Amino acid sequence: MALAGIDRGDLYACDVISAECKGSVLREFPSQYLGTTLNDIQSDARNGVKDARKALKLLNDNRFKK
């Protein structure tokens, strides 16, 4: 189930990881963002939160996709 073509803002990070990412992403993913929606993570990343930027990178970078 590829979620890339739809608006993913209301999805939770843990759901996107389980559907699209390699299992190794969970080792590096900031735990405080696992139960957070992508919109909230993007908002924090725009505000300069380092862990939020890392979370977005792990979710969006093709190197970490299944």
pLDDT tens-digit map of 12-53: 999 999 999 998 999 999 999 999 999 999 999 999 999 999
Taking the CA of residue 26 as centre, how many other CA atoms within 13 Å lie in the half-sphere pointing to its CB?
A: 11
Domain span holding position 54: 13-64
pLDDT value at 9 more than 90? no
Count the domains in the chain.
1
In a domain, 4, yes or no: no
At 44, which helix (H) or strand (E)?
Answer: helix 38-46
- pLDDT at residue number 6: 58
Task: Name residues whose C-beta falls within 8 Å of residue 47's C-beta, 6 or more positions apart in sequence.
Answer: none
In a domain, 27, yes or no: yes
Locus of tokens 């862990």: 51
Q: pTM to 2 decimals?
A: 0.83
Residues 3-7 have a mean pLDDT of 56
pLDDT value at 7 more than 90? no
Alpha-carbon Rg for the chain, nearest whole angstrom, is 11
